[in-house]
Amino acid sequence: MPLISPEEYENLTPVQAIELQQQLRKEIRIEPLLKPIQTIAGADISFNKYEETVYAGIIVLSFPPLQEVAKATVISKTSFPYIPGLLSFREIPSLLKAWGQLEVKPDLMVLDGQGIAHPRRMGIATHFGLVTDTPAMGCAKSLLTGKFEALPETAGSASLIYDQEEVIGAALRTKNKVNPVFISPGHRITLEQSLAIIKQCISGYRIPDPTRKAHLLVNLVRTQNMGDKRSTQLDLF
């Protein structure tokens, strides 16, 4: 609904960003997926510390096979700093550019961060799902807000994340004796469906395939780009 151009996100102040989150919050729809998904995508950002250049990427996989079917990467700039609770304002602009270049739009997006497991229920997955009107869920490596009961050490076990009395997500052990990942629905999907689907995306690593492949993709683009710059600079001498 909020048709804001990628550039406009950059100029928001933290206070304005929070106001936008409170406005967007009214549009969140945590409801069942309408149909079984055939494709699932991972999205991530990579960057060098202290630099404004960000490398964003989205990779679409077939589901359940998890074979790559499409991908898009973009190199852009960000001036919005990382502020806990406002991550989406830093990462969404570049992700939207990659989204626009995607030849195949996925049935479900998996973002590296929270969905509704957020102080204002507006994690990056929820925000992205809303602005693209696409089912989206969050898969984070650490918790932003909420509490959960300790869960068994065995892979597959999960424990609900609560904010007071409200269930906002689940901690999921994807591998034996390894820290859990934090799953939460973002938009147009339920927590139960998010969990069921992400469990089918685990292939031996802590991080589920969509997010893991997206992370590898953007890191590759970043390091390759670093190598290019270095060689062109050296060529000047």
Partner DNA sequence: GCGACAG
Partner DNA sequence: ATCTTGTCGC
Question: Rule CB under 7 A: which residues touch DNA?
Answer: 44-49, 82, 84-88, 112-114, 118, 122-125, 138, 140-145, 176-177, 215, 218-219, 222
* Closest distance of CB 64 from DNA, Å: 24
* Closest distance of CB 180 from DNA, Å: 12
* Calpha distance 107→89 (Å, rounded): 23
User: Does 235 appear as a known binding residue?
Assistant: no
Comparison of 45 and 74: residue with beta carbon closer to DNA: 45
Whether omega before 14 lies within 30 degrees of 0, making that bond cis, reads: no
* Closest distance of CB 38 from DNA, Å: 26
* Closest distance of CB 237 from DNA, Å: 22
User: Does 112 appear as a known binding residue?
Assistant: yes
CB 16, CB 4: distance < 8 Å: no
Comparison of 18 and 61: residue with beta carbon closer to DNA: 18
* Calpha distance 200→47 (Å, rounded): 29
DSSP string, 147-196: EE----SSTT-EEEEEETTEEEEEEE--STTS--EEEEEEESS-HHHHHH
Annotated binding residues for Mg(2+), written as ranges, equal 44, 112
Annotated binding residues, written as ranges, equal 44, 112
